[in-house]
Structure 1
């Protein structure tokens, strides 16, 4: 099989790259192994995590970097040890590129095994365990942002009992949160409540299938009026200034609050112990999802005809897209399209 293609993409060379200063250039992928798959990229979703990585917001980034972890394209080289992917398959890669394969492994790419370069590029090389075929019935531009944004909310919803008989709140209606509304409804929750700061997103949440919307800046006494009304809350907010105590009062006795948004520095508002003790509530966190969860989520999206709100941008416009993403202009996910590979 031909392997004469070059690995080129948009490269961040320092924290200033997040301001639209990425440069196009060639990079060296991880050393080829027969457990790997090379992907000719057609689509890549843009995630808030890309901004944190480009800016070193979550810790020092090993520059030079090429971000993007919602990758879809065609398998153009398949290692002999990879049995579930065939040459020419439409495949995807999410936020995890390799791990020790133990449950809850924290490593996205363990030290000593090479550097993971992302999807703002022409080609990607990833260990085949984390590459999976994309089912028919899903548009690539719709499927791409599900590989991180979608599964980041799907996983905690599924693991914490979202389904018939449950009332679910999604805090922060954005790239992650709008997926939360879609998947909570698809999983059969009796009632799904979108929670965000401004009233302007109310109609969009209802169109996505939400049953109620709470605007925390605009709805007077929102916490008091909705006290103990939810079984489960998934919070996508990345801010240490969010009204966390008020969110927790929305939970029924024994309810669960799961944090998936990760602010720079990792700080969240303090939690009063009596808020937890008085209601017997649980607070936890969740990050991305396992490959099997991604496959399950994608099939649910096919079966329920889930249609996320995406805006396609040319890969050539990656710098402008990053700036717009940082400015909060996305409604609700940008997807970069590599036109020369379509």
Structure 2
């Protein structure tokens, strides 16, 4: 049942594109207007995602400043709307990158369990404008978060909060295409980019039972980490000679987590077996990717596409799998008060492999 107490929402406000340089300002903000389908979460942990950096600097689009970023949120439900049945006050809960969709029965996406692709009322957990003039969405670098209850999930007891938080965007972003494209027994999977997303890619590909997982990154300095995470092999694309030829047609599925318009796309595609699949999940500023040669696609019968975050049902499934298998992502916990320093360190590529802010 909804509580009537007033909660003071405060957080690290990005006021302009310079905020990504460690210039966020702590202050109070007004959350979206309360609805009985909402849940207020007292934030205990929030992962730092590459999306936060893109948004702080208006890299993907013009950000509606002021903006509080953070969409890998775990905390305690302190106010629960009367229309929310699966969560009660006091539960440990989380919310990922999506805070709302239209949820209408005639919506092709929402009615078929693909809420993350809703084209009618998709609102991000931060930086989004809610319909019907009820306000903006603000994220988890804050004391509290308010999100639609449909996108709020109970966290399994077996998962630590600092481990669950980065799964809610980083984890699900790779889990969803891995599961959807059959990364299981009998499959060989390549993960391009061993970072926040990529390290999850290796972990979940192995957890889903893939026979062989290959990590790919530019330099060899992440080789030992990739193998420790569970990869069976590692390719340093700037250093290993003739890697596209040596590993040609060896992978069933490639998940690309990097955000670069200069990636060697044609060489990656050469690694796929006939009728293999390439899925892009990283988004560069501006959205530009390298050209794909039609002969490469047709000659190998290759499928190339993209994937957004997962649906609520996929997130629940992923969290339970992580709990059942004791999955522990590699995280570094940083105090919420040091969010500016942590963001700068993240931009420098220092995270191994996910920073998590702790209140």
TM-score, normalised on structure 2? 0.93
- Tell me the equivalent position of 2:313: 292
- The C-alpha deviation readout for 1:52-99, integer Å capped at 9, x for no partner, is 110000000000100000000000001111100011000000000001
1:168 maps to which of 172, 189, 206: 189
2:118 maps to which of 72, 91, 105: 105
Question: 4+ residue runs of structure 1 moved beyond 3 angstroms?
Answer: 109-113
1:313 maps to which of 326, 329, 334: 334
Please list, as runs of the form range in 1=range in 2, the aligned pairs for 1:44-193 lying within 5 A after superposition: 44-101=46-103, 102=107, 103=109, 104-106=117-119, 107-108=122-123, 109=128, 110-112=130-132, 113-193=134-214
CA distance in structure 1 between the aligned counterparts of 2:58 and 2:82, rounded to whole angstroms: 36
Q: Secondary structure at the match of 1:72?
A: strand
- Tell me the equivalent position of 1:280: 301
CA distance in structure 2 between the aligned counterparts of 1:298 and 1:149, rounded to whole angstroms: 12
CA distance in structure 1 between the aligned counterparts of 2:204 and 2:4, rounded to whole angstroms: 40
User: 2:274 aligned with 1:220, yes or no?
Assistant: no
CA distance in structure 1 between the aligned counterparts of 2:349 and 2:290, rounded to whole angstroms: 22
* Residue 3 of structure 1, CA deviation: 2.1
- Tell me the equivalent position of 2:278: 257
CA distance in structure 2 between the aligned counterparts of 1:244 and 1:284, rounded to whole angstroms: 13
User: Could you list the runs of 5+ residues in structure 2 that have no partner in the other structure?
Assistant: 110-116
Query: What is the aligned-residue RMSD (CA, Å)?
Result: 0.9
* Residue 303 of structure 1, CA deviation: 1.0
2:34 maps to which of 8, 26, 32: 32
CA distance in structure 2 between the aligned counterparts of 1:50 and 1:129, rounded to whole angstroms: 23
CA distance in structure 1 between the aligned counterparts of 2:14 and 2:153, rounded to whole angstroms: 27
CA distance in structure 2 between the aligned counterparts of 1:73 and 1:164, rounded to whole angstroms: 35
- Tell me the equivalent position of 1:4: 6
Q: Secondary structure at the match of 2:279?
A: strand
CA distance in structure 2 between the aligned counterparts of 1:244 and 1:303, rounded to whole angstroms: 36
CA distance in structure 2 between the aligned counterparts of 1:292 and 1:150, rounded to whole angstroms: 14
- The C-alpha deviation readout for 1:6-63, integer Å capped at 9, x for no partner, is 0000000010101000000000001111111110000000000000110000000000
- Tell me the equivalent position of 2:114: none
* Residue 4 of structure 1, CA deviation: 3.1
User: Could you list the runs of 5+ residues in structure 1 that have no partner in the other structure?
Assistant: none
CA distance in structure 2 between the aligned counterparts of 1:165 and 1:11, rounded to whole angstroms: 47
CA distance in structure 1 between the aligned counterparts of 2:283 and 2:157, rounded to whole angstroms: 33
> What count of residue pairs does the alignment treat as equivalent?
338
- Tell me the equivalent position of 1:43: 45
Q: Secondary structure at the match of 1:168?
A: strand
CA distance in structure 1 between the aligned counterparts of 2:152 and 2:65, rounded to whole angstroms: 25
CA distance in structure 1 between the aligned counterparts of 2:41 and 2:214, rounded to whole angstroms: 38
